[in-house]
Amino acid sequence: MPLSDQQLQDLETDGFIILPDLFSQAEIEAIRGRLPRLFAEDSEANVIERHSGEVRTAMGLHLRDDLFADLVRHPRLVEPALQVLNEPVYVQQVKVNVKAAFSGEVWQWHTDFATHHKDDGVRLPLALNLHILLDEVTEFNGPLYFLPGSHRAEEHPARLDDETTSYPLWVTDLDRVRDMANRCGMVSATGKPGTVLIFHDTLLHGSPNNMSPWDRAIFSLIVNPVSNAYTAPTRPDHKHHRDLTPVEPLADDCLERYGTPSVAISA
């Protein structure tokens, strides 16, 4: 599934693109149907919110479930990534981020590259984030906020915040966020289930608490050029995968064999 010239230009200019209806309702239901079992596992790859006890993020999913092992090689994700990066990539991180109704916690303002660089020793900001909205994401249930064009900043300073939430994160100073937002503006990345978000490693983004009565789950695949792989394997494999095998896309119908389950996500 190649990106158009306009989409490639928008990604270069803004640092992100939003692609509606890239995955069907049946495919989304199949993905969502795997989550209750994975969320229920007693695994260090499931990060639990401090206050609510709900799953905040479930990581390493392609190592824990065969559907996700296929999803990370889906051509609607892999082919655009290869088109943008123009070199072999490996699976760097796979997760579903959840904001449970009424209790889903904030993701602080940050760039992904700060963590990849400082914790994993990734040299260059070349990784690409590929998201699939698994619920309808609205202005009310904790959408991602993007600062268009912020990925082009020459520097990306960050400090480690291990107090705000249960997930330690290299975050961006709020004075810098204010300055960048005043210059770049802000976009709320909303959309229906099946919408895909693609954004660069240095795009400044975050998301607010979910005060609404509606859950919000987003699948995230991060791929990184093999030539730009980690040099400091200090984090566990589910946070930055060690397998540098180049990703090869599967057939477009690779999720069909999983059918449409009747079990809905409960987070």
Residue 22 lies in a domain: yes
Contacting residues for 5 by C-beta, under 8 A, at least 6 apart? none
User: So what's the pLDDT on residue 262?
Assistant: 40
Is residue 175 included in any domain, yes or no?
yes
Please say if the pLDDT value at position 197 is more than 60: yes
Considering the entire predicted model, what is its pTM? 0.95
Percent of the chain residues topping a pLDDT of 90: 94
3-state percent breakdown (helix, strand, coil) of the chain, nearest 5: 30, 25, 45
10 domain residue, yes or no: no
The pair of three-digit structure tokens given for residue 226, joined into one six-digit string: 């093999």
pLDDT surpassing 50 at residue 263: no
Instruction: Indicate whether 246 belongs to any domain.
Output: no
The predicted structure's pLDDT at residue 1: 75
Question: Would residue 78 count as lying in a domain?
Answer: yes
Percent share of the chain, pLDDT over 70: 97
Q: Report the mean per-residue pLDDT for the chain.
A: 95
Confidence of residue 260 (pLDDT cuts 50, 70, 90): low
Tens of pLDDT, residues 92-138: 999 999 999 999 999 999 999 999 999 999 999 999 999 999 999 99
Q: Does residue 130 lie within any of the structural domains? A: yes
pLDDT at 259: 83
- Half-sphere exposure in the Cβ direction for 263 (13 Å, CA): 11
Instruction: Decide if 223 is inside a domain.
Output: yes
| Residue burial 167-204, b: 16+ Cβ < 10 Å; e: rest | bebbbbeeebbeebeeebeebebbbebbbbbbbbbbbb
- Give the structural domain span for 66: 17-237
Q: Answer yes or no: is pLDDT of 264 > 50.
A: no
Does 266 score more than 80 pLDDT?
no
Element (H, E) at 69: helix 66-71
Looking at residue 214, the DSSP 8-state letter turns out to be S
> Is 213 within the bounds of a domain?
yes
Partnered with residue 137 across adjacent β-strands are 191
Q: For residue range 39-82, list pLDDT tens digits in order.
A: 999 999 999 998 899 999 999 999 999 999 999 999 999 999 99
Instruction: Report how many domains make up the chain.
Output: 1
Rounded average pLDDT over 7-26 = 98
What would the DSSP string read from start to end of 82-145? Answer: HHHH-S-EEEEEEEEEEE-TTTBPPEEEE-HHHHHHHHH---SS--EEEEEESS-B-SSS--EE
Largest interatomic CA distance in the chain: 49
Q: Are 240 and 92 in contact (CB under 8 A)?
A: yes
| CATH for 78 | 2.60.120.620
pLDDT recorded at residue 170 = 98
Tokens of 53: 């006890």
